A and B are shown apart, each in its own frame.
Chain A
Amino acid sequence: MDPNEVYDPPAWAVKFLSWFCPDALLEGILGDLLEEFDNNVNNNGLSAARRRFIYSVFRFLHPSIILKNRKVIKLINMGMLKSHLKVAYRGMWKYRFYSFANLLGLTVAFAFLLLTSTFIYHENSYDQFHQKKDQIFRLAHEVLLKETGESLSKSAVTPVPLSKDLQQEVPAITKQSRVGSASMTLVKDNIPYEEVIVFVDPDFLGFFDFPMDQGLPKAALIDQSSMVLSAEKAQKYFGYSDPIGQTLSLNVNDSLINFQVTGIIDAKEKESSISVPILVNFEKFELLVGKQAMTSYNYSAVENYIYVETPQEISLLEGSMTEAMKKFSRGDDTEVKIFAQPLTSIHLEEDVPGTADYTTSRKIQIMAGLGLLVLVIAIINYIMLSTGHSLNRLKELGLRKSLGAFKSQLRIQLIYESFFITILSGTLGYVLALLLIPLFNNLIDSNLTLGISAIQILVMFLISILIALISGGIQAVILLKHKLVAALKGNSAIKNKDSILNQGLVVLQFAFSMILISGTLVMRSQLNYIQDKNLGFDEDRLVELTLGNTENTETATRLVDRFRNEALSNSQISSVSASMNNASEPWTTLGFLQENGDTENIHYNQIDADYLKTMGIELTMGTDYNPNSGNTANDILVNESLVKHFGWEDPLNQQIPGKNFDSKHRIIGVMKDFHFSSLHNEIEPLILSINQGAVSSGVTGLSTYYWPPNLYRVIVKIGPGELTPAVNFLEETWKSTIPNKQFQYRFVDESLDQQYAEEKRWRKVINAASIFALGIAWLGLLGLTRLSVQRRTKEIGVRKVLGSSIPNVIILLSKRFLILVSVAVVIGIPIAWLALDNWLQSYPYRIELNPLLFILAALIVLIVSIGSVSLQSLKAANANPVDSLKCE
C-alpha cells in the first residue's frame, strides 16, 4: 500500500453512521473510525479494512449511542417532514380541482378494494372456527364402471351407512357423523311451522365446534328424543323464557313425535358451510327415508363426515376406505372410490359439492379482479394527474433548488406529498367503505361487517406507500429532468406534448372502462333474454303451496282433493294440481341400469291428473291423463327430449329401456319440451306419472331433494282478477281443509326469478364497478384536458388573434385525447368480446354477441370523454385572447 495514497471507507457506511449517530458524538466517533481504517489499510490491505470499517459501524448501532441525549429516535427528520406536509397541504389547497379529483378517485378505489377484499376474506374464512378443522373430512364417492373405468357419478352426497360402516373397518376414523337435512313441519302448541331439520349423529357436536350457549356438546344429542336449537330458533319459539326441557313436535306422516330441547348452539350462520338451525338425533332420519335407506348403498341421501387423528395420512386412509368399500358395494358392475375433502375446503368445493353451502372460485376471482381493476384505473389516474399537474410547480422546485436543496431532497418531498394524499384517501376510503357496506351487502346478499383488522390496515398502508413511491418517483423523474433553475427565468422548456407514458395510461384506462361497460351491457341483455324466454309452460299467476310430508300418496291425494273441492268453488281459481318437485329446486333424477352396464339418467316428477292443465303444458302426441279412464297405474308421460334421446319414431309403443324392469308401462303422451330446471341447463329427458310404481322397478340410482315419491306441493292456477283476495281465499280454504299444515305459498314466477338472483347480483356488482371505473377515468381525462388547456393558453390566444375560429380551437384541443380514447375502444372491444363469449358459453340458452352492444359501449365511452374534453376546450376557446396574451 502506498502510504501517501488516500483511501476512503465505503460511503454508504459513513452515511449510515451519520444517520443514526447523534450529531454531538458523530465527529469523535467517525474520526476514530477513520483513524482505525487508515491503520487497517496499512496493516491489512484495503478490502479487509473496508470490511472491518463496516463491521465497526454496525457495532456502533448500540442503544447507548443511538439514544444518547434523545428522548425519541429520529428515524425521519421531523422538521423537514412537517415542512413537507405543510407544503403538500398548501399545494392541495392551491390546486383544489386536482386535489379533489385525485382524492376522489383514490378514495373510491380504496373503498371498493376494501369491500371486495372483505368479501374475499369472508369467503375464505368459512368453517375456520372449528378448532379441529384440519382433522375433519367430508367423504365423497365416485362410482366407476368396473370394465371401462368410466365415471358414472361423483358426489359428496353419499349413502347413509357410509361413514358408520367405514368407522368399523378403518380404525383411524375415531369419530364420524352423518348430516342429513329435510324440510319438515314442526309443531308447537298445535301451530305448524315449516322448518329445516338437520339429522346428525350424537358425536357431531363433539368434534364440530359450534359454541353451545346451553347444554353439553357431548351429551346433548345422545337421547333419541333430544333436540338442539340454534339461538335464532330458540328465540323464535320460546322468546326470552328458558327453552331447555321444553317440548317441540315434528309432524311425521301425520303423527306427532315429541322432542325435548337439550341444548342451544350458535349456528354461526354465514361462517359455517353446514347449516344447523335445528339438530336432532340421526336415528330419527329413518322416519323420513324408511328403514331400507338407512342401511342401503343404493341411495345417496346425506353427507358423511369423519374425524381422524392423523390428518397427514389422509391419502392412505382414502385407499383403505376404498378397499373397505368393496365389502359393502352392490356387487354389480360398478366399483366405488372414496375420497376425503378437508372441511376447510368444502366451502370452495365446486366440482364435487354436497348439500353444504358452497361458493364458486370464479366468483372470488371476479371479485378480486374487479377490485384490482378499479384500483389500477385509480392509480393510473393519480399518476397522470399528479405528474401533469406537478409541471406547474417547476418554478417552486427551481426556487428550492437555487436555495440549496439537493435533488434527493426534492425527490423525497414529492414522495412525501404523494404519501400524504394516499394516506388521506386511504382513511377516507375506509370511511366511505363503512358507509357503503350496507349497500354492498344488499348487492351481493351477504352479511359482511367491516372490521379494522391489523392485516387490512397494514395492506392499505403498504398500498399507500407503493402508490406514493410510484407516483412520487415518476413525478421526480419527469420534473428533475428539466433544468430547474431555468424554470425560474419563466421560459422553462415545458413541452406541450404529453409523454408516451401518459398516452399509454389513458388508453389503458379507457380500455378497461370499455371492457367493463360492454360486460354490463351484455350481462343485462343475456339476463333479459333468460327471463323473457318462453319456458314452455305458463308461469303467470301460478302459486305453489307447501304440503310437506304425508304418510303416503293416498293420504296426500285425499288432502289435495279435499282442498281442490273447496277451492274450485271460487270462480277465480281455475285449476288445482299437486306434484312432487317444485319450480325452484332441481327435479328428481332416476338412474336406469341398462343391459350393457350403462346407466340412463332421466328426470322424474310425480304429479296428479290435473298437472298439465294447471301448468299449461302442451302435448305433441297422445293424450293427457283422463280422470275417468280407470286404471292409470302404469301410464306415464314423457317429453320430446326423451323421445329424441332414444331416437323413437313411435314413442307411444315404446318402453323405457332398463335391465331391471319387471313390469310394462304405457307411454300415453308426449309433452312439448318445457323448462323444468333453470336455463343454466338444457332440457333433459323427463318422465311424469301419477303412480311412481309405473317405472320404479327399473330404478337403480337416484338423486333427489324429496324422497320418497309423494305429492309434496299443491299448485294453483289463479284466473284473471285481483290476486290478493284470491290468495286470502286460498289461505282460508287451506286452514279449513288441511289445518295441521302451515299455509305457505310462493308465486312460481317469483321463485323462478330467484334462480337468476346470482346473475342479477353479479350484474349489479359489475354495474357498480364499471360506473366507478368510467367515473374515475372521466375525472382523469377532465384533469388532463384542463392541464393541457392551461399550458396552451397563450398559444390559443395567438391562434385566435390570427383568425382561428372557436370550432377550430376546440378541435385542436380535443383531437389528441379523442384519438387516444378511440384507440382504447379499438383495443378494448376484442378483449371484451373474447371474455364475454367465454362467459356466455356457460349458458346453453344464450344470446348471440351483438356488435351493436359493443358499439353502444363504445359510444358511451366516447360521449363521456367528448363531454369532459370539449367542455374544457370550449372554455379555453371562448376566452378573450387579450387576457391570455396579457398574462405573463
Chain B
Amino acid sequence: MEKNYLGEFEELVLTMVGILGEEAYGNAIVQEIETKLNRKVNLSAVHVTLYRLEDKNLVNSSMGGATTTRGGRRKRYFKITNTGLSLLHDMQEQRTELWKLLPTLKFSTI
C-alpha cells in the first residue's frame, strides 16, 4: 500500500502550502512558519522539502509573473494537490484515532 504518512517537517510545510493557498512560495512559507509557530526555519530546508513533496506529487509548482523586487526574479508558487490534501486528512484522522486511545489524565491521591 502507498505510504500514507509524512515526516513532521514535511507535514508542516505541506500544511503551510495549503494555508497560504495562492501565495505559497519559499520565503512566504518561512515567514508564515515564523509568525504562526514562532519557529525559525531555514529557507533551503523549506525548498528541499518542497521539491521532495513535488516529487511525491503532493504539491505542484508554477512560476509566477515578473516582479520588481527580488532582482526581478519570478517566484515559484506551490499549490497543494488533491493527493496532498487527502493525505493531510488521513493523517489527521489517524491521529484522532490514536488520541482516543490515550488514557485520560487522572489525578491520583497521594
Q: Which residues of A contact B (CB under 8 A)?
A: 25, 27-36, 38, 56, 59-60, 62, 64-65, 68
Asked whether, in the complex, the Cβ of A25 is within 8 Å of the Cβ of B51, the reply is: yes
B54 — nearest CB in chain A belongs to which residue? A68
Q: Contact at A59–B45, with CB atoms within 8 Å?
A: yes
B47–A65 CB distance below 8 A:
yes
CB-defined contacts of B61 to chain A, threshold 8 Å: 28
Instruction: From known contacts A36-B27, A38-B69, A64-B52, infer whether A31 and B44 are also in contact, taking CB-CB under 8 Å.
Output: no
Interface residues of B in 48-78 (CB under 8 A from A): 48, 51-52, 61, 63, 67, 69-71, 73-76
Asked if B26 and A28 make an inter-chain contact with CB atoms under 8 angstroms apart, the answer reads yes
Bound-state CA distance A68–B47 (Å) is 12
B85 within 8 A of A: no
B32 to chain A, nearest CB (A): 13
A6 to chain B, nearest CB (A): 9
Q: How far is the CB of A272 from chain B (nearest CB, A)?
A: 58
Inter-chain CB contacts under 8 Å: number: 68
What are 11 A-B contacts with C-beta separation under 8 Å? A25-B47, A27-B63, A27-B74, A28-B76, A29-B76, A30-B73, A32-B76, A38-B70, A59-B43, A59-B44, A62-B44
Contacts A27-B63, A28-B63, A34-B69 known; 5 new A-B pairs at CB < 8 A? A28-B26, A31-B74, A35-B27, A35-B70, A56-B44
**Is B42 engaged at the interface, CB distance under 8 Å to the other chain?**
yes
Q: How far is the CA of A28 from the CA of B25 in the complex (A)?
A: 9
In the bound complex, do residue B76 and residue A27 qualify as a contact, i.e. CB atoms below 8 Å apart? yes
Q: Once the chains are docked, how many angstroms separate the CA of A28 from the CA of B28?
A: 12
Q: CB-CB < 8 A to A36: which residues of B?
A: 27, 30, 43
- The reply to whether A33 and B69 form a contact with Cβ atoms under 8 Å apart is no
Majority DSSP secondary structure for residues of B touching A: helix
Contacts of B26 in A (CB 8 A): 28-29, 32
Measured between beta carbons, the chain A residues less than 8 angstroms from B71 are 30-31, 34
User: Would A31 and B67 count as touching, CB distance under 8 A?
Assistant: yes
Question: For residue B42, which residues in chain A have a CB less than 8 angstroms away from its CB?
Answer: 56, 59
Hey, which chain B residues are within 8 Å of A62, CB to CB? 44, 48
Does B75 lie within 8 Å of A31, measured CB to CB?
yes
Q: Is the CB of A33 within 8 A of B43?
A: yes
Chain B residues with a Cβ closer than 8 Å to the other chain, count = 22
Min C-beta distance of B33 to chain A, whole Å: 13
A673 CB to nearest B CB, Å: 88
Within 8 A of A (CB), among B1-46: 25-27, 30, 42-45
Taking the closest CB of chain A, its distance from the CB of B9, in whole angstroms, is 13
Decide if B67 touches A64 in the complex (CB within 8 Å). no
Q: Is the CB of B74 within 8 A of A28?
A: yes
Residues of A near B51 (CB, < 8 A) are 25, 64-65, 68
- Least CB distance, B22 to chain A, in whole angstroms: 16
User: Are B73 and A34 in touch, CB under 8 angstroms?
Assistant: yes
The answer to whether B70 and A56 touch across the interface, beta carbons within 8 angstroms, is no
Q: Is the CB of A35 within 8 A of B69?
A: yes
Task: Note all chain A residues with C-beta closer than 8 A to B73.
Answer: 27-28, 30-31, 34
| A60, B47: Cβ atoms closer than 8 Å | yes
If A38-B69, A59-B43 touch, whether A32 touches B27 (CB-CB below 8 Å) is yes
Contact residues of A: prevailing secondary structure? helix
Residues in chain B near residue A65, CB distance under 8 A: 44, 47-48, 51
Shortest distance between the CB of B44 and any CB in chain A (Å): 4
User: Shortest beta-carbon distance, A524 to chain B, in Å?
Assistant: 71
Query: What residues of B have a CB within 8 angstroms of the CB of A31 in the complex?
Result: 67, 70-71, 73-76
What's the minimum C-beta distance from B60 to chain A, rounded to whole angstroms? 13
Shortest distance between the CB of A107 and any CB in chain B (Å): 48
Report which of A27, A28, A64 forms a contact with B48, defined as CB distance below 8 A.
A64
Cβ-defined contact, A29 with B47, below 8 A? yes
Residue of B nearest to A6 (CB): B71
CB of B25 within 8 A of CB of A32, answer: yes
Inter-chain CA distance A33–B47, complex, in Å, is 11
Contact call B70/A34, Cβ cutoff below 8 A: yes
- Alpha-carbon distance between A30 and B69 when the two chains are bound, in angstroms: 12
Chain B residues with CB below 8 A from A34, complex form = 69-71, 73
How close is B109's CB to chain A, nearest CB, in angstroms? 53
Shortest 6 CB-CB contacts between residues of A and residues of B: A28-B76, A31-B73, A59-B44, A32-B26, A31-B70, A60-B44
List chain A residues, Cβ under 8 A from B47. 25, 28-29, 32, 60, 65
A25 vs B44: C-alpha distance in the bound complex, in angstroms? 12
In the bound complex, CA of A35 to CA of B42 (Å): 14
Q: How far is the CB of A362 from chain B (nearest CB, A)?
A: 59
Nearest B residue to A55, CB-CB = B42
A30 partner residues in chain B, CB cutoff 8 A: 71, 73
Which B residue sits closest to A8, measured CB to CB? B71
CA distance A31 to B69 in the complex (A): 9
Contacts of A29 in B (CB 8 A): 26, 47, 76
Measured CB to CB, the closest approach of chain A to B42, in angstroms, equals: 6
Q: What is the chain A residue whose CB lies nearest that of B44? A: A59
Docked Cα-Cα span, A606 to B25, in Å, equals 103
Which B-chain residue is minimally distant from A56 (CB atoms)?
B43
Task: Verify B43–A32 contact, CB threshold 8 A.
Answer: yes
Minimum CB–CB distance from A473 to chain B (whole Å) comes to: 33
Q: Can you name the residue of chain B whose Cβ is closest to the Cβ of A32?
A: B26
How far is the CB of A4 from the nearest CB of chain B, in Å? 12
- Point out the residues of chain B lying under 8 angstroms from A56, CB to CB: 42-44
Closest CB in chain B relative to A662 CB, distance in Å: 97
The 0/1 profile, CB within 8 Å of A marked 1, for residues 65-101 of chain B is 0010111011110000000000000000000000000
Closest to A64 in B: B48
Collect the chain A residues with CB atoms within 8 Å of residue B45's CB. Answer: 59
Contact B75 A28 (CB under 8 A): yes
* B residues in contact with A38, CB < 8 Å: 69-70
| B69 partner residues in chain A, CB cutoff 8 A | 34-35, 38
Q: How far is the CA of A28 from the CA of B70 in the complex (A)?
A: 10
CB-defined contacts of B25 to chain A, threshold 8 Å: 28, 32
A306 vs B70: C-alpha distance when bound (angstroms): 75
Question: How many Å lie between the Cα of A62 and that of B73 in the bound state?
Answer: 22
Could you say which residues of chain B place their CB within 8 Å of the CB of A60?
Answer: 44, 47
Give A56 to B26 CA distance when docked, in angstroms.
13
Min Cβ gap B73→A in Å is 3
- Closest chain B residue to A30, Cβ basis: B73
Q: Report A837 CB to chain B, min CB distance, Å.
A: 68
Most buried by A among B47, B48, B74, B75: B47
Residues of chain A lying within 8 A (CB to CB) of residue B27: 32, 35-36
Give B52's nearest chain A residue, CB to CB. Answer: A64
Give Cα A68–Cα B42 distance, bound, in whole angstroms.
19
How far is B67's CA from A31's CA once the two chains are assembled, in angstroms? 9
Tell me the complex Cα distance, A145–B26, Å.
Answer: 87
Compute how far the CA of A65 lies from the CA of B51 in the bound complex, rounded to whole angstroms: 8
Cα(A30)–Cα(B45), bound, Å = 14
A56 to B48, CA, bound (A): 12
Q: Least Cβ distance of B48 to chain A in Å?
A: 5
**Which residue of chain A is the closest to B76 with respect to CB atoms?**
A28
**What's the Cα separation between A27 and B69 when bound, in Å?**
13
With most chain B CB atoms within 10 A of its CB, the pick from A28, A56, A60, A64 is A28
Most buried by B among A34, A65, A68: A34
* Complex-state Cα separation, A743 to B27, whole angstroms: 97
CA distance A849 to B52 in the complex (A): 80
A29 to chain B, nearest CB (A): 6
Closest to A61 in B: B44
Expressed in whole angstroms, the minimum distance between the Cβ of A51 and any Cβ of chain B is 14
**What is the chain B residue whose CB lies nearest that of A38?**
B69
In the complex, what residue of chain A is closest to B46 when comparing beta carbons? A32
Residues of A within 8 A of B30 (CB): 36
Chain B residues positioned under 8 Å from A68 (CB to CB): 51
CB distance from A845 to the nearest CB of B (A): 78
Bound complex: CA A56 to CA B47 (Å): 11
Q: With the chains together, A65 CA to B74 CA distance in Å?
A: 18
* Alpha-carbon distance A59/B61, docked complex (angstroms): 22
* Shortest distance between the CB of A27 and any CB in chain B (Å): 5
Q: How far is the CB of B31 from chain A (nearest CB, A)?
A: 8
Q: How far is the CB of B56 from chain A (nearest CB, A)?
A: 12
Q: How far is the CB of A68 from chain B (nearest CB, A)?
A: 6
CB contacts (< 8 Å) of A35 on chain B: these are 27, 69-70
